[in-house]
Chain A
């Protein structure tokens, strides 16, 4: 057989394979999803009227086995016990974002689409893979149960497409013993922070233990904190709303200050060490007293018991100090993971029941938080009494503070929730170039402005809740 014939056969087979694959999602699938909801429920009888069990699939992030077991016990089992006609199947998937994206595109995704944040959902919405949730929001009262800013983050063009599974903030972790041994108090101002940093350096300690080898995204945690605590949340809000630009002097000065701290060796002694240090060393250095402060998020709660196994009372958190007179300390908030309904879900009513189970009971949500600290902080108003009696008081304190900030509107903005995808990635990837001197803070800010403006023009900005 000639090669050309063989290629023709192979090509034909490829075309047939492609044709046999799931058809691409209709571009307008999302707007039709409400209709689809009722249609699918008539196609597949609603759980209440059918003797057949409806299966709902949910792929979520992997965690250590103990946390997975507890999540299954506290959430999946309680749901399945309470809903005899629905069977929830939760799978723990490594590299969830990548696997899910491929599966959804191929039409083989789960009924519940969990993404790392609103910017990721926007891409699914644009591709028609997400069903609107407005009808279910009314039915289950999500607007009044979930904090408004977190609900807003899930809207696009006024329609609700995603719900916040977990919310987060970035704080300053420290070791109480390290501070006490050196006679330091928790800093609340830039002067106090810099005084401790200089003294720590003189004692051969790392003022800030952070490194970004394990996750280059650590850069954006820092940028978030420095913008919030130097330029201030109002300025950041204006830039997000395009009332000012990202090369606003205050925002540029924030980046300059962060870079100054890097050049002074506050971060692990040198930028090279910062670039080469992974999370296990960061955790170890904070616990051993080799370093003083760790700027990280509430997700770190899940690691504290293993980080301080012998002296669990030593770790503590505080707000990042104010870096400029007149700027108040605050919590930059973020939606850590989102939940949406796949527009191809066979029974959206059953899927919505699962989502409602996430927010429907404060005590159940608090129990899950207690058993799986850090990654399932449902943004609803939880009280101290909701938590099991043995819940760590430091954990409850931060949740109460985040809750208060959510209700008062006095919070900051994290780049991974309120920035569009390309702008966010620019911050993550290009801060390294600022630290090595390849980009000046002003150039970094101007380039960010260009990218942000382009994304705004393409209508890709996530919703920004009003202050």
Chain B
């Protein structure tokens, strides 16, 4: 007589799996990366919080000074200059590269042949080392041999701008270079998101007589909203962490014209032996980023589709 197969009593169901399998085992898989993060992120972060309240020089013992670093921060002109520059930077990166990438991706989404070529071309600057990109642009913007003086020689004297040496243009010039490497990355993200939008929506819209712009505003943008909002969030956070291009191209100068919070932190820690003060600047920067992150998470929790 055949017997019907029954559940093997020795093999636990998911509900009855032992504690080790259910709880401990997954954590064991996570443990290596968790330990690594504790070591290189959490521990330094916690120590930075502590040092922000000390007069630590970066060497030796630290002395607790309470809120003194933060009091100083709020009266430090250069800090406010750097903070303002970060806000300008953020404003630039929330508009220029995102607009370029959206328009570029939208145009490319309709390209049937050669799309891969354009993707690669636009993406290459993103994967190039920042020192290489900066070195190239430093020559292009050079006051003696760069584009400004060349245009002036061609009869456009107003174009003879010392891009990186003029306090009015230094920040924008560095942002331009950073944008040049960044927008291609956004373009690839948006393009991928656009390709997942339901094509039937476009067909319906066209039957209803919608033009390209209306398709873009009413179908494409809502269709890629999660990607768009995510890139807006990382743009804000990255804007407050901007360091490499500023440090390489201007070092925050001239006269702090392109100073941002991260270069200020670096100088305080490594040039002026004020590691405690640098930690206070770093902590403040983290709090600013956290505010934006919290807004993002809160909006999601409240049901916004982002």
Contact = CB atoms under 8 A, between A and B. Distances in A.
B208 interface: no
A346 interface: no
Contacts of B142: 276, 281
Interface majority SS on A: helix, strand, loop or mixed?
Answer: helix
B39 A127 contact: no
B164 A276 contact: yes
A126 interface: yes
Contact of B256 (A104, A123, A429): A429
A14 interface: yes
Given A101-B58, A276-B254, 8 more contacts: A27-B60, A126-B57, A213-B251, A268-B143, A268-B144, A271-B165, A275-B253, A422-B272
B255 A435 contact: yes
A225 B250 CA distance: 24
Interface stretch (A17-25, A137-145, A160-168): A17-25
B243 to A, nearest CB: 14
A10 B38 contact: yes
Given A1-B27, A421-B273, A272 B60 contact: no
Interface in A418-461: 421-422, 425, 428-429, 432-433, 435-436, 438
Interface in A14-68: 14, 17-18, 24-25, 27
B35 interface: yes
B63 to A, nearest CB: 11
A212 B52 CA distance: 32
A391 interface: no
14 contacts: A11-B46, A13-B38, A101-B270, A124-B59, A126-B59, A127-B59, A213-B164, A268-B144, A271-B254, A273-B165, A276-B142, A422-B272, A425-B271, A429-B256
Contacts of A277: 143-144, 165
A282 to B, nearest CB: 10
B181 interface: no
Nearest to B169: A272
B163 interface: yes
A223 to B, nearest CB: 15
Given A1-B23, A127-B61, A281-B144, A436 B46 contact: no
Interface in A311-348: none
Contacts of B267: 425, 429
Interface of B: 23, 27, 34-35, 38-39, 42-43, 46-47, 57-61, 138, 141-145, 162-167, 170, 250-251, 253-256, 267, 270-273
Interface in A299-316: none
A97 interface: yes
Contacts of B145: 281
B269 to A, nearest CB: 9
A128 B60 contact: yes
B21 to A, nearest CB: 15
B165 A101 contact: no
B251 A216 contact: yes
Most buried by B among A11, A105, A268, A276: A276
A220 interface: no
B272 A105 contact: no
Contacts of B144: 268, 273, 277, 281, 285
A264 B47 CA distance: 50
Given A17-B39, A436-B255, A10 B34 contact: yes
A212 B253 CA distance: 10
A278 interface: yes
B126 to A, nearest CB: 25
Contacts of A268: 143-144
A281 B272 CA distance: 29
Interface residues of A, number: 46
Interface of A: 1, 10-11, 13-14, 17-18, 24-25, 27, 97-98, 101, 104-105, 123-124, 126-129, 212-213, 216, 268, 270-278, 281, 285, 421-422, 425, 428-429, 432-433, 435-436, 438
B165 A123 contact: no
A5 to B, nearest CB: 11
Nearest to B34: A10
Given A1-B27, A13-B38, A105 B255 contact: no
Given A24-B60, A124-B59, A98 B270 contact: yes
Contact of B165 (A14, A98, A126, A213): A213
B27 A14 contact: no
B27 A17 contact: no
Most buried by A among B27, B43, B254: B254
A278 B138 contact: yes
User: What 8 pairs across the A-B complex have the smallest Cβ distances?
Assistant: A127-B60, A276-B165, A272-B162, A275-B165, A127-B59, A275-B254, A432-B255, A272-B165
Contacts of A429: 256, 267
Contacts of B167: 436
A276 B143 contact: yes
A105 B163 CA distance: 40
B102 to A, nearest CB: 33
B55 to A, nearest CB: 11
A172 B93 CA distance: 44
Contacts of A123: 57-60, 273
Most buried by B among A272, A274, A432: A272
Contact of B164 (A1, A275, A428): A275
A271 B143 CA distance: 11
Contacts of A432: 253-256
Contacts of B251: 213, 216
Nearest to B163: A276
Nearest to A17: B43
Nearest to B57: A123
A13 B36 CA distance: 11
Nearest to A438: B255
A126 B254 CA distance: 33
Given A105-B58, A433-B255, A213 B271 contact: no
Nearest to A12: B38
Contacts of A101: 58-59, 270
A14 B38 contact: yes
B165 A274 contact: yes
B42 A14 contact: yes
Nearest to B269: A98
Contacts of B271: 425, 428
